[in-house]
Amino acid sequence: MPSDNSFRIETYSRVKHDFKRLDKTLQKQILQEHYPHIALDPYQADPLSHNFKGLWSYHINY
């Protein structure tokens, strides 16, 4: 359960499908290193525009 000062991360079913196709090492890295940072401060990502206004894009390098 998220603490009071973190956000819940929601993903589209297509993202979940693509995630499962990633290398297991990368999946683990995303879940252990990136998701906690996103949950604490989702606004560190890039805001999207037009039809995706209100959503954020978070990029990682692997």
* Cα–Cα distance measured from residue 58 to residue 43, given in angstroms and rounded to the nearest whole number: 9
* Cα–Cα distance measured from residue 19 to residue 27, given in angstroms and rounded to the nearest whole number: 7
Q: Would residue 3 count as lying in a domain?
A: no
Q: What is the pLDDT of residue 4?
A: 62
Domain span at residue 42 reads 13-57
Q: What is the pLDDT of residue 58?
A: 87
Torsion sign over Cα 59, 20, 15, 40: negative
Q: Would residue 1 count as lying in a domain?
A: no
pLDDT tens string 30-47: 999 999 988 899 888 899
pLDDT tens string 5-33: 778 888 888 889 999 999 999 999 999 99
What contacts 35, CB < 8 A, 6 or more positions away?
Answer: 9
Say yes or no to pLDDT of 3 above 60. no
Q: Would residue 8 count as lying in a domain?
A: no
Count of the separate structural domains present in the chain: 1
Q: What is the pLDDT of residue 15?
A: 87
